């Protein structure tokens, strides 16, 4: 069941990450299978050979899709037909005319007014998921052709990854080292772990081999670990207290320093910012049996933690290995409201709509635009509920990302009405087959990034981009032959922007990632905003999936290089706070919140 859930989540997530821009998600068929030069499609329970759609011959549409999407042409014709037709200049209506013929031979016939629906596409995707899962299980149960698997991985990285040369000088040598390390091991788990080790060296915070943790043995650390001021803290999985009330810090596991354990785990963690490596390595220690194997330690069903108070008082605590992996959950759990000091507090724990709003959208069959509009309204209502507060704290600690809509929605409510537009992100897309260097619209629209030639800019925004370009110096310059034109994300004030903006503190930490990195950097550009806490993890990749057939998995790789306004990459850096402050151990179990208290002090001083 776990494998089923992981596969479902991975496939649906890939759509959110890699869906072509400017398209709906509809289909006239509920299944498609490619057989040589033919495509066999299912309409109303019958299978046909696809001959054409709305007067376009299938052969013409296939050739166009191949030119547009390269090796992904079958995926785009099947999953993203709306997008292909839009790019072709013949967008589909509510219904289409399908030209088909019986499989095996027979006269061509016309099926009129075939509905183009989201439901058809969902049925199609469901069948795809089941077929992929069956194939994946067959592959996992057999031996792997190691050379074929790594050849596929090498091609995917070389042709599609935006950060191929960021940190790896010789990809071939890296892969050969991993192949040599495998020796005669050709089981699925060993090869997938080797692939994960390769991908982690690329510096892309989003990159990974999907389902790689399915290769890990069961057996989990029964506690949670997190860094705070003074060292690594060990606390109970329900956050009800420390493992030892008097000794919060863990200095060793089974007699080995905690640093040895995190170093072993880091081989499977993106070689990104220091804070990303530390956070993810500590979290990976939950798979304690696996990390023991990496350290060549013998198996044991127990684990001994060496705990200290930080002043020399030390003790050993023996715990049994757990059969279920503990989870960190959302933290902190404070709710939006006005604090006792009178400062407004807005808690933003995720960059996606709430479950309740998603359920409503499903029940009422909303289009994506309706859902995004309703979500923006929710965000506006939350900040409006703090209208009487003289200053605001926006808490995004632990927010792992999602979409960029909150950045736009909240930034407009914080920036001064008379302020100039602000460039908050600059990026370039890795050129794929069918992509023009200078697009009329945008390669990166689903990240709210547009080229300088985009017709949607206002004159003020054009001036802001021109000014930004003069002072912007990227720390790492991608080659012009492999990347498209620069794209920009710009935020402008509107009628909701205040005449007299209030002081704002944004609380950040290493749990902030992806869209939350963008949020922190964007708001940090405003003169009335102070970033407080710890550096974010750093990641902005527009991650896309690429199939490794020999392993029965997909790998996720960055499709763009993305920069902060200061010229630093998001990946490998993260966003630095204006005021750095570490949480206390007691903050991790809810007894205190010293970072929030410090933010209150900053704002009280600013409003006096």
Residues 18 and 125 in one domain: yes
Percent of the chain at pLDDT exceeding 70: 93
Residue 563 lies in a domain: no
Q: Within 13 Å of residue 116, how many CA atoms lie on the same side as its CB?
A: 21
Residues 238 and 283 in one domain: yes
Strands 38-43 and 46-53: antiparallel
pTM of the model: 0.83
Residue 558 lies in a domain: no
What is the C-alpha separation between 153 and 179, in angstroms, rounded?
Answer: 12
Report phi then psi at 337, rounded to 5. 170, -175
Order of strands, sheet of 450-451, starting from the edge strand that comes earlier in the sequence: 450-451, 483-491, 422-430, 560-563
Structure confidence at residue 130 as a pLDDT band (50, 70, 90): low
Mind listing the pLDDT tens digit for each residue in 346-394?
999 999 999 999 989 888 888 888 999 999 999 999 999 999 999 999 9
What is the C-alpha separation between 31 and 50, in angstroms, rounded?
Answer: 11
Residues 223 and 77 in one domain: no
Q: What is the pLDDT of residue 442?
A: 73
Asked which of 437, 459, 492 is the last residue of a domain, the reply is: 492
Residues 334 and 258 in one domain: no
pLDDT greater than 50 at residue 467: yes
What is the C-alpha separation between 493 and 503, in angstroms, rounded?
Answer: 16
Q: What is the mean pLDDT of residues 297-321?
A: 96
Residues 123 and 233 in one domain: no
Residue 228 lies in a domain: yes
Average pLDDT along the chain: 91
Residues 512 and 446 in one domain: no
Residues 294 and 154 in one domain: yes
Residue 543 lies in a domain: no
Domain count, the chain: 4
Contact call for residues 328 and 283 (beta carbons, < 8 A): yes
Mind listing the pLDDT tens digit for each residue in 225-237?
999 999 999 999 9
Percent of the chain at pLDDT exceeding 90: 76
What is the C-alpha separation between 23 and 87, in angstroms, rounded?
Answer: 9
Q: What is the pLDDT of residue 83?
A: 86
Range of the domain at 481: 421-492
* CATH number assigned to the domain comprising residue 406: 3.90.226.10
Residues 242 and 360 in one domain: no
Asked which of 86, 113, 140 is the last residue of a domain, the reply is: 140
* CATH number assigned to the domain comprising residue 318: 2.30.42.10
Asked which of 117, 140, 163 is the last residue of a domain, the reply is: 140
DSSP state string for 355-398 = HHHHHHHHHTT--HHHHHHHHHHHHHHHHHTTTT-SSEEEE-TT
What is the C-alpha separation between 596 and 319, in angstroms, rounded?
Answer: 33
Contact call for residues 101 and 82 (beta carbons, < 8 A): no
Residues 201 and 291 in one domain: yes
Residues 247 and 212 in one domain: yes
Residues 159 and 306 in one domain: yes
Residue 90 lies in a domain: yes
Residue 14 lies in a domain: yes
Residues 362 and 456 in one domain: no
Residue 545 lies in a domain: no
Structure confidence at residue 3 as a pLDDT band (50, 70, 90): very low
């Amino acid at each position: 069941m776990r494998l089923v859930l992981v596969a479902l989540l991975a496939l649906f997530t890939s759509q959110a990450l890699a869906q072509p821009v400017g398209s709906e998600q509809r289909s006239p068929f509920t299944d498609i299978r490619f057989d040589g030069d033919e495509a066999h499609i299912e309409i109303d329970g019958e299978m046909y050979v696809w001959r054409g759609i709305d007067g376009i011959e299938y052969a013409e549409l296939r050739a166009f899709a191949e030119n547009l999407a390269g090796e992904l042409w079958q995926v785009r014709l099947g999953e993203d037909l709306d997008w292909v037709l839009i790019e072709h200049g013949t967008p589909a209506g509510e219904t289409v005319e399908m030209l088909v013929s019986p499989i095996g031979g027979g006269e061509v016939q016309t099926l009129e007014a075939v509905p183009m629906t989201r439901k058809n596409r969902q049925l199609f995707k469901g069948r795809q998921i089941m077929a992929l899962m069956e194939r994946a299980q067959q592959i996992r149960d057999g031996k792997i052709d190691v050379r074929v698997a790594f050849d596929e991985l090498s091609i995917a990285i070389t042709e599609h990854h935006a950060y191929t040369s960021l940190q790896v000088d010789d990809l071939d040598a890296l892969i050969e080292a991993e192949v040599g390390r495998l020796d005669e091991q050709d089981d699925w788990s060993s090869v997938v772990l080797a692939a994960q080790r390769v991908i982690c060296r690329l510096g892309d915070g989003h990159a990974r081999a999907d389902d790689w943790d399915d290769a890990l043995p069961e057996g989990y650390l029964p506690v949670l670990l997190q860094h705070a001021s003074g060292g690594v803290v060990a606390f109970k999985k329900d956050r009800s207290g420390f493992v030892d009330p008097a000794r919060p810090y863990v200095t060793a596991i089974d007699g080995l320093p905690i640093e040895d354990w995190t170093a072993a785990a880091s081989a499977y963690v993106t070689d990104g910012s220091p804070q990303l490596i530390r956070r993810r390595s500590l979290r990976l220690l939950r798979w304690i049996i696996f990390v023991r194997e990496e350290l060549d330690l013998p198996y044991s069903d127990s684990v001994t933690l060496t705990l200290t108070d930080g002043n020399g008082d030390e003790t050993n605590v023996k715990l049994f290995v757990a059969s279920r992996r503990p989870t960190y959950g959302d933290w902190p759990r404070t709710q939006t409201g006005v604090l006792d000091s009178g400062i407004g507090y807005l808690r933003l724990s995720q960059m996606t709509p709430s479950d309740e709003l998603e359920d409503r959208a499903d029940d009422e069959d909303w289009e994506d635009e309706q859902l995004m509009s309703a979500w923006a309204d929710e965000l506006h209502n939350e900040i409006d509920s703090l209208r009487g507060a003289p200053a605001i704290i926006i808490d995004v600690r632990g927010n792992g990302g999602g979409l960029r809509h909150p950045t736009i929605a909240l930034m407009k409510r914080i920036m001064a009405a008379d302020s100039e537009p602000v460039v908050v992100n600059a990026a370039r897309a890795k050129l794929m087959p069918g992509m023009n260097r200078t697009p009329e619209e945008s390669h990166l629209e689903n990240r709210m990034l547009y080229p300088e030639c985009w017709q949607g800019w206002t004159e003020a925004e054009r001036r802001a981009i021109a000014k930004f370009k003069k002072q912007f110096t990227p720390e790492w310059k991608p080659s012009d032959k492999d990347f498209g034109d620069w794209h920009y994300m710009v935020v402008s004030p509107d009628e909701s922007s205040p005449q007299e903006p209030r002081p704002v503190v944004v609380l950040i930490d290493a749990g902030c990632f992806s869209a939350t990195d963008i949020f922190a950097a964007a708001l940090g550009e405003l003169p009335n905003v102070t970033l407080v806490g710890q550096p974010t993890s750093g990641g902005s990749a527009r991650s896309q999936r690429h199939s490794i057939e020999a392993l029965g998995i997909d790998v996720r790789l960055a499709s763009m290089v993305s920069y902060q306004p200061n010229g630093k990459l998001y990946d490998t850096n993260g966003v630095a706070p204006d005021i750095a402050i570490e949480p206390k151990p007691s903050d991790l179990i809810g007894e205190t919140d010293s970072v929030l208290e410090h933010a209150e002090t900053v704002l009280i001083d600013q409003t006096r």
